[in-house]
Each structure stands twice: as C-alpha cells, then as structure tokens.
C-alpha cells in the first residue's frame, strides 16, 4: 500500500514537472491543462481558448481564462463530455491581432484542438477566424456580443446583437420611462431644457 502511494506521488511529481516544462517550452502565453483521468478510449476533447491574457483588455481575458478553467474542471469532475475528458489549451491573444493570429495557429496546427472559443472584440474575431475556420476547418465559438451578420461556416456567434438588445430595451424604456421621465437635452446657448416641459 505504501509503495502505491509512493508511485502516486512520483507520478504527480512527474506530471507537474512535465506541465512546468511544457509551459516553459511553449512560452508564457501558452497553457495546457490536462485532465487527471485522460484514459478515455477515444482520447480527450481538446478545447482551445484564445483570449487576451495581456494587453489593454487583459483584465477581461484573464476572467475568461479563469472561468474556462473552472468549467473544464467541473465537467471533468462530473465525468467529462460524452464519456471523454476535456483538455484545455489557452493562448494569449495579447490585445494584438498579429500576435493573436500566430498564437491561434499554435492551437490549430500544433495542439490540434477540436474547437476554439474566444476573441473579445469583433476586430479580434475577424483577425483569428481565418486560421481557425477557413484554413483549419475547426469549430469556432465567439461568445461575445457583436454587430451581427456573421455567416462564416464553422463559426458560431452566441452573443447578442444590438437588435436583440434593443428589441427588449426600447419597449421597456417607453413603457417605464415614457414622456414623464426627465431627460436633459444638449446644452444650447448656455441653457438646458428638459424634454418633459415645452421649450419657451
């Protein structure tokens, strides 16, 4: 029994060492989180996350990466997806489209992920969709709100469009605000006027 525990500790040590070596070899912007039970017959489902870990909107990208880690862990703890574990690959898009394209290519060509989630801005989505869907023929899910009218094969935009937001908001605003709410009009000649009272 004690020998089994020693092997388990050695196995965990070697697994941690391999993870650290892989992180150093692939760079600071690349992370691979392997499930502990990756013994499924068909192998793990590889999920790639392309998000801004650094750069001006890194605060949002780090939140995305942390949520992805949490969800993948919960799914794996519950038995995986379709009886297969999920393996998470995270690449930094660095709030820079040219850096993002190179890092997304790593997900497609080197890591051979089954799907990619990510891109925070529409400009990032447009930059990285070509290596993912046109060349890589890989499923791409863009979960952010966006401008609409995206009809690219293999690309699924799951965020709301402005029309979807306004369809609910404008009727609510009219019903609950109506003409009785006081909104300030722009400053004209040093005076402001309210929309609820007629101008004089």
CB neighbourhood size of 72 (10 A): 21
Higher pLDDT, 173 or 10: 173
> What band does 26 get if pLDDT is binned at 50, 70 and 90?
very low
Q: Answer yes or no: are the C-beta atoms of 93 and 118 closer than 8 Å.
A: yes
pLDDT above 60 for 13: no
Give the pLDDT of residue 150: 81
How do strand 86-92 and strand 139-142 relate by DSSP bridges?
unpaired
Give the pLDDT of residue 23: 44
pLDDT above 80 for 35: no
Distances (CA, A) of 71 to 15, 76, 161, 196: 21, 9, 25, 49
Question: Which residue, among 94, 27, 88, has the nearest Cα to 60 in the 3D structure?
Answer: 94
Got the DSSP string for 82-137? TTB-EEEEEEE-TT-HHHHHHHHHIIIIIS--SEEEE-SSHHHHHHHHIIIIIIT-
Instruction: Write the pLDDT tens digit of every residue in 122-169.
Output: 999 989 999 899 888 999 999 888 888 888 889 898 888 888 888 888
> What band does 187 get if pLDDT is binned at 50, 70 and 90?
low
**Tokens 């949490």 — which residue?**
70
pLDDT above 50 for 25: no
Higher pLDDT, 97 or 37: 97
Q: How many CA atoms does the CB half-sphere of 75 hold within 13 Å?
A: 21
Instruction: Write the pLDDT tens digit of every residue in 67-110.
Output: 999 999 999 999 999 889 999 999 999 999 999 999 999 999 99
Got the DSSP string for 53-86? SSSTTHHHHHHHHHHHHHHHHHHHHTT-BTTB-E
Higher pLDDT, 37 or 177: 177
Give the pLDDT of residue 168: 83
CA distance 34 to 29: 16
Cross-strand pairs, 140 = 116, 155
- Could you give all domains of the chain from N- to C-terminal order, each with its CATH number? 27-159 (3.40.50.2300), 162-200 (no CATH)
Give the pLDDT of residue 188: 53
């Amino acid at each position: 029994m004690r020998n089994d525990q020693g092997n388990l500790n050695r196995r965990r040590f070697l697994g941690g060492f391999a993870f650290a070596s892989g992180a150093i070899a692939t760079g600071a912007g690349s992370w691979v989180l392997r499930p502990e039970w990756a013994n499924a017959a068909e192998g793990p489902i590889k999920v790639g996350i392309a998000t801004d870990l650094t750069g001006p909107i890194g605060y949002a990208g780090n939140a995305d990466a942390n949520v992805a880690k949490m969800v993948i862990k919960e799914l794996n703890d519950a038995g995986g997806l379709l009886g297969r574990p999920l393996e998470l690959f995270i690449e930094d898009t660095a709030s820079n489209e040219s850096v993002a394209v190179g890092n997304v290519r790593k997900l497609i060509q080197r890591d051979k992920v089954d799907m990619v989630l990510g891109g925070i801005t529409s400009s990032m989505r447009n930059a990285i969709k070509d290596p993912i869907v046109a060349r890589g023929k890989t499923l791409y899910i863009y979960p952010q709100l966006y401008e609409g009218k995206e009809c690219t094969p293999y690309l699924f935009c799951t965020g709301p469009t402005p029309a979807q937001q306004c369809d609910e908001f404008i009727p609510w605003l009219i019903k609950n605000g109506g003409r009785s709410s006081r909104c300030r009009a722009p400053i004209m000649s040093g005076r402001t006027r309210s929309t609820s009272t007629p101008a004089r």
